[in-house]
Structure 1
Amino acid sequence: MAELSATSGIPVATIKYYLREGLLPAGERSGPNQSLYGPEHLRRLRVIRGLLEVGGLSVAAAHQVIDAIDSDLGLAHTFDIAQRTVSPLIDPATLSADAVAQVDEALSGWHVSPENPGRLAAARVLQTFAELGQPDLSGWVPGYAAAALAVAEADLDEIDVRDDRESKTEMVVIGTVLGDALFAGLRRAAQEHVTSTRYAGGAR
């Protein structure tokens, strides 16, 4: 474990915590107080760190995501688990009909279930805008929908180039979690770029 800690850069106490929580599989016993750890443990530690530190998941949520990686479920089912794990739970009854209708108009022609967490989250955002006196987003939402569709295509393209089921499943789960953080980061950079080109000469 000391070597695993040194290689991964993760403290021994943290590794033991991951073991207790079932996030990291146990090593192979080599003595009364010693176990052997291999490359799969190092890889799993990096996955855990990505989920917790970059993705911002709780330990319980990370456990669900890792269980999905280790399962033999199909990719579509794994995607569903990943989405629901990283998305807030929203009661459809709390959403206004107008907000839901706006989202459904933007998603027209898409194969999206009524309980899809993204659909519900988008409706809640639009409802909040309406409550803040910004009800007309007809020029904004379609642009976001088009960008989201392009990102989803990129997500699936990245999964398709993986060779085996394990790496595909891992990309489904990790990509769902870290892809949100990546897109948010790129959006911030793009906002500065477009602002500087559209309003040239303005102060940063």
Structure 2
Amino acid sequence: MRMSELSRMSGVPVATIKYYLREGLLPQGQATAVNQADYGELHLRRLRLVRALIGVRGLSVSETKEILAGVSEHASDMHEVLGLVLGARPVDKEAPPPAKEAFDEVDELLKEVGWQISDHAPAKQVIAEGLTTLRSLGMDVGWRTLLPYAELAGRCAALDLDQLRDTDDPLERAERAVVLTVLLEPVLLALRRLAQEDESARRHRA
């Protein structure tokens, strides 16, 4: 397909597609003339993924480029792909620096549930930041409070990875891992909000 068709099918303006091509977020098309190229299903799929990472998840162009480069390079190693993806998150500049005690509690939690987690996993800092913030507001929250949530999260993770079995194509599996780990998060959070509303209605309404 020509770039105009790629733009129409993806809903992404031609100027934005050209920008993504210059930045290396999309592979170059197959040249057919000096200023023309053909694009295929791979370009359409990758373009939709780029827009989702930048527009929906809020990642920067450089973060998105790093993820996609890792996906292409390590497509056959799903654990490596997931490691790259899980390391990407927008920086929360408003969060207070976590206390050392909070990091120690995160380690206690991980030890209790028996998870195999790298020492530098960014999610550990997110949890430590959350514990620090909650305590600054007078909440008595510790790692034991998080234990039942961690057990639920473990079951969710099993469901996530089960969905990677549907295709044998390494690149497609890697891209699907990006979708499940990065883009599904807001949906899961929204489901939690709905479940909280329902639980409140059941408990507090006559």
TM-score range, shorter chain: 0.7 to 0.9
In 2: Cα distance, 1:57 partner to 1:136 partner: 30
- Give the corresponding residue for 1:172: 177
Letter in 1 for 2:177: V
CA RMSD of aligned residues (A): 2.1
Structure 2 residue 124 is matched with structure 1 residue 119: yes
Partner of 1:62 in structure 2? 64
**3-state SS of paired residue (1:174):** helix
Alpha-carbon distance change, 163 to 51 in structure 1, aligned in 2, over 3 angstroms: same
- Equivalenced residue count is 198
| Partner residue in 2 for 1:39 | 41
What's the offset of the Cα at 1:14? 0.9
1:86 equivalent to 2:89? Answer yes
Counterpart for residue 161 of structure 2: 156
Stretch moving more, 56-65 or 192-201:
192-201
Shift of the 97–7 alpha-carbon distance from structure 1 to 2, 3 Å rule, reads: closer
Distance in 2 between residues matched to 1:70 and 1:85, nearest whole Å: 16
Paired position in structure 2 for 1:144: 149
In the alignment, the residues of structure 1 paired with residue 13 and residue 120 of structure 2 have an alpha-carbon distance, to the nearest angstrom, of 40
Following superposition, the deviation at residue 46 of structure 1 comes to: 0.9
Q: % of aligned pairs identical? A: 37
Partner Cα separation in structure 1 for residue 205 and residue 108 of structure 2: 35
Paired AA for residue 181 in structure 2: T
The residue aligned with 2:53 is: 51
Distance 2:108 2:144 in 1: 12
CA deviation after TM superposition for structure 1 residue 138, in Å: 6.1
Worse overlay, 115-124 or 81-90: 81-90
TM-score, normalising length: structure 1: 0.87
Counterpart CA distance in 2 for 1:28 and 1:140 is 55
